[in-house]
Structure 1
Amino acid sequence: MANAASGMAVHDDCKLKFLELKKRNFRFITFKIQDQQVVVDKVGNPEESYEDFTASLPDNECRYAVYDFDFTTNENCQKSKIFFIAWAPDISKVRNKMVYASSKDRFKRELDGIQVELQATDPSEMSLDIVKARAL
């Protein structure tokens, strides 16, 4: 397990699953902090949609997530970008939000290949339109 500067460990499985996502074996991965370490929460199959991904996030708890977003550029080229999303709903507990916020940068550094970062406190801040705009 990697040791995080914030005191938060990162389970090795997080990096292994992320490498699989980069090979297109998964569409998304959500991570949660449990027992002072970041662990894999859920994984999404390659055929799952962005709506499936957003539905997998809890309404009242923070999560980190990575999403492999496929899109077509203005020049009609197929591309994909890996998004890192820090999900911190307004109704989650203050302590929960603080723990996730203080560990985010260290955890993100463990995942080599993140191209875009989003922070969201409600679903409208990570709508498909916002993701598309950030990808281009």
Structure 2
Amino acid sequence: MLQANAASGMSVSDECKQKFMELKRKKTYRYIVFKIDEKLQQITLEKTGAPGASYEDFTTELPENDCRYGVFDFEFTTEDNCQKSKIFFISWSPDTSRVKAKMMYASSKDRFRRELDGVHYELQATDASEMDIEVIKDRVS
């Protein structure tokens, strides 16, 4: 069932929620990239990354001049040698993207983020340095 976001009129496709659950529970994907389909007024699935994909693979999937949402399952080892993973929600809104796109992504973000139950950290980035792997590592340490 689709529910429209009152603020932006954007609904979230069931596929988005389903793929996120597969990433969270089954580790089927390393990352997912979502985009807003302006014609459908809906947040849709754009790409998924295989479990072995890297953070660099994920960041290269984000367009240079357009907004996207992404989730990345970051795996790391703690100081006491425990394997852990934390899910990051990344709102990518480069300065070079269209004003309308930035507004749509900004107004839809909070509700979409709430649909993805199990996100540990949230990042907003307008350029690559704001979501560098070191930023990710700092968040989990």
Q: Who is 1:13 aligned against? A: 15
After superposition, what is the alpha-carbon deviation per residue over 1:71-98, rounded to whole angstroms, capped at 9, x for unaligned? 1112221100000000000100111101
Q: Who is 1:61 aligned against? A: 66
Identity between Structure 1 and Structure 2 (%): 60
TM-score for the superposition, normalised by structure 2: 0.94
Aligned residues: 136
SS at match of 2:97: coil
RMSD: 0.8
Q: Note the 1:24-63 alignment, pairs <5 A.
A: 24-34=27-37, 35-63=40-68
Q: Conserved in 2, the CA contact under 8 Å of 1:5 and 1:106?
A: no
More displaced stretch, 74-83 vs 37-46: 74-83
CA distance in 1, matches of 2:32, 2:103: 21
After superposition, what is the alpha-carbon deviation per residue over 1:18-62, rounded to whole angstroms, capped at 9, x for unaligned? 011012000000000002100001000001111100001000000
Which runs of 5 or more structure 2 residues have no equivalent in the other structure? none
After superposition, what is the alpha-carbon deviation per residue over 1:105-124, rounded to whole angstroms, capped at 9, x for unaligned? 00001110010000001111
Q: Who is 1:2 aligned against? A: 3
CA distance in 1, matches of 2:43, 2:84: 29
SS at match of 2:51: coil
Letter in 2 for 1:71: F
Which runs of 5 or more structure 1 residues have no equivalent in the other structure? none
